[in-house]
Amino acid sequence: MPKTGVGVTVIRKGAYSKVTGEAKYSDDFVLPSILTAKIVTSTQAHARIKKIDLSKALAQTGVKAILTGKDHSLLCGPIIKDRPPLAKEKVRYYGEPVALVVANSEYQAAHAASLIKVEYEALPAVLSPSEAIAPGATLLHENLGDYQIAVLDNYPKAKTNICGHIKIRKGDIGVLEDCDVVIEGHFSLPQSDHVAMEPRTARAKIDADENVFIKTSSQSPFEVKKMIAELFALDPGKVIVEVPFVGGGFGGKSAVQLETLALMASKAVGGAEVRITNSRENDFVSSPCRMGLEATIKLGATKEGLLKAAQMTYLVDTGAYSDIGPRLAKAVAVDCSGPYYIENIFCDSLCVYTNHPYVTAFRSFSHESSTFCIERMMDKLAHKLKIEPAELRRRNSLMPGFTSPTQVRITNSNFGDLLSCIDRVKELIGWNEGIYIDAGNDVVRAKGIACLWKTSNSPPDAHSSAFITFNQDGSVNLNCGCVECGPGMKTTAAQILSEKLQMDIKRVNVNMDVNTKYNPEHWKTVASMTTYMLGNAVLQAAEDAIRQLKSLAAVIIKCHPEDLEIGEERVYLKQDPTIFLPFAELVHGHRYPNGNSIEGPVLGRGSFIMSNIDLLDKETGKGKSGPAWTVGAQAVEIEFDKKEYTYRFLKAATVIDAGKVINPKIAEGLVKGGMCMGLGLGSREHFTYDQEGRFEDTSLRSYKVMHFGQTPQYLVSFVETPQIDAPYHARGIGEHGIIGIPAALANALSLAAQVEFDQFPITPELIWQLKTGGGV
């Protein structure tokens, strides 16, 4: 049964190779001659490196090279170039790579690595953002003022631990003190991990023609190409990055780290191919993780619950190096109000260094953390004013004509229908049956709600592109640079093309891998912007191909191209579809019976670049950060034991305004996956450290994630309000399933336990501590 276009569930491209185990991921390519590199990592959170003894390691069989900070002077970072790939002179986080051993076999590399002795002189460790900005705090980066900054709109403060600061100054904050009610909240959220099934891995080699090949499990092959070319002063045309299937990214694989180490290793061994793969422990701690956040928020409202003013300070814990941290701080500020109208906002969002592992993008790019804060505040306000929590949110929803924190005017197209999302999620979770139900026997069932919104913080020149070619039978090939890492972007792009060409999806082929040499550039597969950017590029490429097909067919049929339509792999005359030419007779040019041939092959070309995205004003934050928001509402129902302070999940519901759902089952799965991650974050996942900042839960024995059997009943529904400039009006939804879940969970538990949870994860011990004060 042929399936065509968008709005229909099709089996995702590449599914069979994945479920049969045939799919190859970056480290599955086994080559007998490949060398292996292993990192030696810091056992201190903050220390001077006094001595590294390599003598025993160098003497081991099979060891080809050992690199340390002394062997390079590279500084990396997409925003601030502050991170040496191997620590130089000092270490700034537990797990920081200190040495790199390159050997013939994995065993030889591991064995030699175990023989390297590092002597440290401990320095005071800065273990929270508030500690980091306190007067007299130890500085992590004494030379912050001297670092190269790769962007125009980041303003680190030299001689401090502040590497970024975004200000929102909208309206008049004086209004706050005149409000009928003012509530204040303090929030503290720890770092956590992506826990992708496939740990990060990369390999590099340099051939005789000085081409550099990098194969990596990355969400950003073109970023890898750019960074590597810049860092090593290479001709970008000679840097070739390959990405096969990626076993989960969640933002963690958008950063560039192992690729740099792999190339440093390859250079040290004359260009031989070297692979480096993280152990799970390395993946947790040495490679970047999810940000932490401390926040202080004051909200002022009328007694009817209408928000009037907000004063907010956010401290993003970016860890030892900035990476994309300053953009995370920006994202916090851009969407700090939640999807609500607040006329007067005074917000400072700081990106702060600490001696924690450094951070990078994580699913929803700070929104899971900032949404927790604003949504807990909404529940506090609802409680104070005795207004029903869902109703309070309805009253405050942004509407067309109102403005966001960065003073972007809201429209139906760029925002969507939050009210319908709230109403529908209430139905799904059974909100009106009661949000606090005493079930007897010390058991209580409670429901919590949270709204979400997210726009992107991609650079103003983020872009995508697509090429279309055809096969001799008229089937089509889509050539694109997005990465297949879980959300099924290849399938989405193929369905968009299938819709535009009115062709069976099975006849639309798409490259499942990415190779920067052959695929046209796509900024990064992140930010839930791939449908928008790549989808628009695909549409443009399809239109280009259609124009060529119609132009050629018009010559042969002897009509005007405007009279032609396409469908079912034919170009046909609108007024008489029995007059047609099959694609197969057009796509490689057309051959007349006498042999003369004209016009072909048909090649479709499409490009897309973000338009009218601004750099935010340095003082007010005014500016447009992304093309549109995706909004939604989520709810969680739990069952709480009042005696033991334990709880279990009953239901979790999400309604998102998707604009247009491209593939219903994929969309549903995507949202459920996000909800599962949100529940994990809210209930059990976090990094813990000892007094000196050394990591304690470095493996899956102690860092717990959600398992089957612990999950709730998931309920997912979509609303469709068109985003006019999006392909088939489809909004980005890749990340959103996670955003409001930790908040909705905390709201449900706060109601059930009758205490305020302003942090996560919320464990039974935390509940017991807040309820009883911690004594017996």
Partner 1 sequence: MIPFDFEYYQPSTVAEAIDAFTMLDEKGKDPVYYGGGSELISMARLGNRNFGAVVDIKEIPECKVLGYANDNLHLGSALTLSEIIESKQFPLMEKSAGRIADHTMQCKITLGGNIAGTIIYREAVLPLLLTDSKITIASRRGVNDYWIRHLFHKRLNLQKGDFIVKVSIPQNLLQIPYFHIKKTTNEKIDYPLLTTAGLKTEGKLKIAFSGLKAYPFRDDDVEKVLNDEHLDFQERAQKIAIALSHDILNDLWGSAAYRKFVLVNTIENILQTMKDA
Q: Which stretch binds partner 1 (CB under 8 A): 27-35, 265-273, 731-739, 757-765?
A: 757-765
CA distance 638 to 615: 42
Q: Which stretch binds partner 1 (CB under 8 A): 426-434, 535-543, 613-621, 766-774?
A: 766-774
Q: Which stretch binds partner 1 (CB under 8 A): 245-253, 331-339, 549-557, 763-771?
A: 763-771
CA distance 198 to 217: 8
- CA-to-CA separations, 280 to 249, 261, 640, 699, in angstroms, rounded: 14, 17, 34, 7
- Confirm if 600 and 698 have CB atoms less than 8 A apart: no
Query: For partner 1, which residue of 117, 517, 574, 707 counts as binding (CB under 8 A)?
Result: 707
Stretch 72-91 residues interacting with partner 1 (CB under 8 A): none
Q: Which stretch binds partner 1 (CB under 8 A): 250-258, 567-575, 592-600, 698-706?
A: 698-706
Q: Does 62 bind partner 1 (CB under 8 A)?
A: no
**In this structure, what token pair is assigned to residue 759?**
């942090």
| Shortest distance, position 45 Cβ to partner 1, whole Å | 17
| Shortest distance, position 709 Cβ to partner 1, whole Å | 6
**In this structure, what token pair is assigned to residue 601?**
């092959």
Q: Does 692 bind partner 1 (CB under 8 A)?
A: no
Nearer to partner 1, 607 or 769 (CB): 769
CA distance 292 to 416: 30
Q: Does 423 bind partner 1 (CB under 8 A)?
A: no
| Shortest distance, position 271 Cβ to partner 1, whole Å | 25
Respond yes or no on whether the N-terminal peptide bond of residue 761 is cis (omega within 30° of 0).
yes
**In this structure, what token pair is assigned to residue 285?**
């701690």
Q: Does 702 bind partner 1 (CB under 8 A)?
A: yes
Write out the H or E segment, with its range, that includes residue 566.
strand 564-567
Q: Which stretch binds partner 1 (CB under 8 A): 83-91, 241-249, 531-539, 767-775?
A: 767-775
How many residues contact partner 1, by CB under 8 A? 32
**In this structure, what token pair is assigned to residue 715?**
């309920």
Stretch 629-688 residues interacting with partner 1 (CB under 8 A): 643-644, 646, 683-684, 688
3-class SS of residue 138: coil
Nearer to partner 1, 42 or 630 (CB): 42
- Within 13 Å of residue 66, how many CA atoms lie on the same side as its CB? 27
Nearer to partner 1, 443 or 573 (CB): 443
| Shortest distance, position 702 Cβ to partner 1, whole Å | 6
| Shortest distance, position 331 Cβ to partner 1, whole Å | 29
Q: Does 28 bind partner 1 (CB under 8 A)?
A: no
| Shortest distance, position 620 Cβ to partner 1, whole Å | 44
Other C-beta atoms closer than 10 Å to the C-beta of 229 total: 16
Q: Which sign, positive or negative, has the C-alpha torsion 261, 262, 267, 268?
A: positive
The C-alpha R_g of the chain, in whole angstroms, comes to: 27
Amino acid at 107: Y
Q: Which of 628, 612, 618, 627 is nearest to 168 (CA)?
A: 618
Nearer to partner 1, 230 or 281 (CB): 281
Query: For partner 1, which residue of 384, 642, 704, 729 counts as binding (CB under 8 A)?
Result: 704
CA distance 278 to 198: 9
Q: Does 774 bind partner 1 (CB under 8 A)?
A: yes
3-class SS of residue 582: strand
Q: Which of 232, 167, 229, 199 is nearest to 26 (CA)?
A: 199
**DSSP string of 6-23?**
SSS--PPTTHHHHHTT--
Nearer to partner 1, 612 or 702 (CB): 702
| Shortest distance, position 637 Cβ to partner 1, whole Å | 18
Query: For partner 1, which residue of 8, 11, 110, 615 counts as binding (CB under 8 A)?
Result: 110
CA distance 678 to 747: 14
| Shortest distance, position 627 Cβ to partner 1, whole Å | 40
- Confirm if 191 and 325 have CB atoms less than 8 A apart: no
Nearer to partner 1, 281 or 599 (CB): 281
| Shortest distance, position 765 Cβ to partner 1, whole Å | 5
- Confirm if 741 and 636 have CB atoms less than 8 A apart: yes
**DSSP string of 690-752?**
-TTS-BS--STTTS----TTS--EEEEEEE----TTSGGGPPP-TTGGGTTHHHHHHHHHHHH
Nearer to partner 1, 402 or 768 (CB): 768
Q: Does 113 bind partner 1 (CB under 8 A)?
A: yes
Q: Does 30 bind partner 1 (CB under 8 A)?
A: no
Q: Does 17 bind partner 1 (CB under 8 A)?
A: no
Nearer to partner 1, 136 or 775 (CB): 775
Residues contacting 239, CB < 8 A, separation 6+ = 211, 212, 214, 225, 228, 229, 516
Q: Does 764 bind partner 1 (CB under 8 A)?
A: yes
Query: For partner 1, which residue of 111, 225, 253, 363 counts as binding (CB under 8 A)?
Result: 111
Q: Does 114 bind partner 1 (CB under 8 A)?
A: yes
Q: Does 768 bind partner 1 (CB under 8 A)?
A: yes
Q: Does 696 bind partner 1 (CB under 8 A)?
A: yes
| Shortest distance, position 107 Cβ to partner 1, whole Å | 6
| Shortest distance, position 17 Cβ to partner 1, whole Å | 24
CA distance 562 to 377: 57
Q: Provide the mask over 268-297, with x wherever binding to partner 1 is found by CB under 8 A and - wherever it is not.
A: -----------x-x----------------
CA distance 391 to 375: 13
Write out the H or E segment, with its range, that includes residue 437.
strand 436-440
CA distance 112 to 57: 4
For the chain, how long is the longest CA-to-CA vector?
Answer: 97
Q: Which stretch binds partner 1 (CB under 8 A): 256-264, 479-487, 661-669, 758-766?
A: 758-766
CA distance 499 to 511: 18
Write out the H or E segment, with its range, that includes residue 144.
none
Query: For partner 1, which residue of 21, 135, 136, 775 counts as binding (CB under 8 A)?
Result: 775
| Shortest distance, position 688 Cβ to partner 1, whole Å | 6
Q: Which stretch binds partner 1 (CB under 8 A): 12-20, 345-353, 413-421, 761-769?
A: 761-769
Nearer to partner 1, 526 or 636 (CB): 636
| Shortest distance, position 625 Cβ to partner 1, whole Å | 37
Query: For partner 1, which residue of 188, 313, 509, 769 counts as binding (CB under 8 A)?
Result: 769
Stretch 709-728 residues interacting with partner 1 (CB under 8 A): 709-710
φ, ψ of residue 595 in degrees (nearest 5): 100, -20
Nearer to partner 1, 401 or 774 (CB): 774
Q: Which stretch binds partner 1 (CB under 8 A): 210-218, 258-266, 606-614, 764-772?
A: 764-772
Burial of 365 (0-12, 13-18, 19+ CB in 10 A): buried
Query: For partner 1, which residue of 16, 50, 107, 620 counts as binding (CB under 8 A)?
Result: 107
Torsion of Cα atoms, 61 then 65 then 67 then 72, to 10°: 170
Residues contacting 79, CB < 8 A, separation 6+ = 149, 150, 151, 154, 164, 322, 323, 324, 325, 326, 327
Nearer to partner 1, 36 or 464 (CB): 36
Q: Which stretch binds partner 1 (CB under 8 A): 129-137, 296-304, 625-633, 759-767?
A: 759-767
Other C-beta atoms closer than 10 Å to the C-beta of 439 total: 10
Q: Which of 119, 133, 150 is nearest to 48 (CA)?
A: 119
Order of strands across the sheet that contains 463-470: 508-510, 476-480, 463-470, 604-609
- Confirm if 245 and 14 have CB atoms less than 8 A apart: yes
Residues that bind partner 1 (CB under 8 A): 106-107, 110-111, 113-114, 279, 281, 643-644, 646, 683-684, 688, 696-697, 701-702, 704, 707, 709-710, 761, 763-765, 768-769, 772, 774-776
